[in-house]
Amino acid sequence: MQAFLDIFDVYLLEAVINGILLGGVLALLALGLNLIFGVIDVTWICYAELVMIGMYAMYFMVQYYGVSYFVAAPLTTVLVAMLGAALHYLVIAPLLAAPPINQLLATGGVLFVLQSFATVAFGIDFRNLGIRLPVLAFGEMHFSYARLLSFLAALVGMVVVYLFMTRTFTGTAIRAISQDRQIMALMGVDTRRIYLITSAIGGALAGLAACLLVLQYDVHPFVGLSFGPITFLICVLGGLGNFIGGFIAAFVFAEIISLGGLFSDLEWGYVLAFAFFIVMMFIRPAGLLARRR
């Protein structure tokens, strides 16, 4: 009994809170990808690579050109938004009517292009922004401000995207298109413009994620490999296109990783999270928040 009670110590609480903070990071990453999938019905396999480009932009602006972090962050967000729009215009738009596998392969190709571009342009070195934020301490428990910022950004980002989608004409048009792509064009909505706006918003969210991840991780051409697959799984778990579902899925996933890693080997945390994903695909294949039909 005592051994069981010993589990409930301050470190368990720290692990729970760290799980929530990791969930914030993952939710931030999933937000943009979910939005794009929900509206355009195309999965940007290269989404994490857009984040990587954003991280490089932050690194060079802050470290090389001495731009303030607070100035560099909005510039990076705009830059990656433009990159998102360009990706849609150049790669996705010509393939909208093509089979999904072609779209998937095309964005997969962009993934390798961006990785190779980063390798050639920036080299293979790991680069660090060099900003060390203070630490929030409560007795034995310590938390990262960088993670707290990511968590808050994910929360605010989700609320803003939700309000944009439900309270504005463009947002309503985006939602309408996600429900029926063909009919909206017949009703006079410029679908090409809406797609472009959605892609830019998705890119901007990737840019925002980059601004916050660069405070926690080194930048290198392959940093996307650490996040890309897990972000995609979270979107699927939450229900592709359902960004509230994605938001919740990110926290569920992160808690399994954090607590699984605490009670067993770290690796088991990831194994449990992926096993949970597989089980949920059987139980709720359309995602955690999908309505039962």
Partner 1 sequence: MRVRMAAGLVRGLLVAISATGLAMSAQAQEKKIKIGVVFDLTGPLAGGGSELGYIGAKIVLDHFAKTGVEGYKIEAVYADAQSKPDIAINESVRLLEQEKVDMVLGFFSSAQCVPVAARVEQLKKFMWMTTCISSAVFNEKGYKYVFRPQASGDQFGMMTMDFIAQNAKAKFDKEPKDLRVAIIHEDGAYGVDVSRGNEAGAKKAGFNVVMKEGYSATAPDLSALVTKLKRAKPDVIFHTGYNPDITLLLRQAREQGLKFGALMGHGAGYGVYEKLKEGMGADATYIFNTDPISIWLANQKTMDAKLPPVIKMVGEEFDKIRPGVAIRSAHVGIGASNTYVFMSDVLPRAIKKYGGVDPDALRKAALDTDIPEGGTMLGFGVKFYGEGTPMAGQNERSFPVVIQYLEDKSHVVWPKSQAQRDAVLPLPKGTTYSNQ
Q: Name the residues that contact partner 1, by CB under 8 A.
A: 9, 11, 14-15, 18, 21-22, 25, 119, 123-128, 130, 132, 135, 137, 140-144, 146-147, 216-218, 220-223, 225-227, 230, 254, 257-262, 265-267, 269-270
Name which of 184 and 255 has its Cβ closer to partner 1.
Answer: 255
Name which of 164 and 268 has its Cβ closer to partner 1.
Answer: 268
User: Distance between alpha carbon 241 and the CA centroid of its chain, in Å?
Assistant: 13
Name which of 118 and 211 has its Cβ closer to partner 1.
Answer: 118
In angstroms, the CA 256 to CA 52 distance is 26
CB of 130 vs partner 1, minimal distance in Å: 7
CB of 262 vs partner 1, minimal distance in Å: 5
> Is residue 141 within a helix (H) or strand (E), and if so which, with residue range?
strand 141-144
CB of 109 vs partner 1, minimal distance in Å: 17
CB of 215 vs partner 1, minimal distance in Å: 10
CA distances from 2 to 8, 9, 182, 270 (A): 10, 12, 63, 28
Name which of 144 and 170 has its Cβ closer to partner 1.
Answer: 144
CB of 25 vs partner 1, minimal distance in Å: 8
CB of 219 vs partner 1, minimal distance in Å: 9
User: Residue 206 carries which side chain, given as an amino acid letter?
Assistant: A
CA angle in degrees (0–180, nearest 5) for 15-207-130:
65
Name which of 88 and 220 has its Cβ closer to partner 1.
Answer: 220
Name which of 78 and 262 has its Cβ closer to partner 1.
Answer: 262
CB of 269 vs partner 1, minimal distance in Å: 6
DSSP 189-212: --HHHHHHHHHHHHHHHHHHHHHH
CB of 239 vs partner 1, minimal distance in Å: 22
> Is residue 138 within a helix (H) or strand (E), and if so which, with residue range?
strand 135-138
Parallel, antiparallel, or unpaired: how do β-strands 141-144 and 135-138 relate?
A: antiparallel
Grouping H, G, I as helix, E, B as strand and the rest as coil, residue 239 is coil
Taking Cα atoms as reference points, which of 100, 104, 96, 85 lies closest to residue 45? 104
Name which of 130 and 188 has its Cβ closer to partner 1.
Answer: 130
Name which of 77 and 231 has its Cβ closer to partner 1.
Answer: 231
CB atoms near residue 86 (< 10 Å) = 14
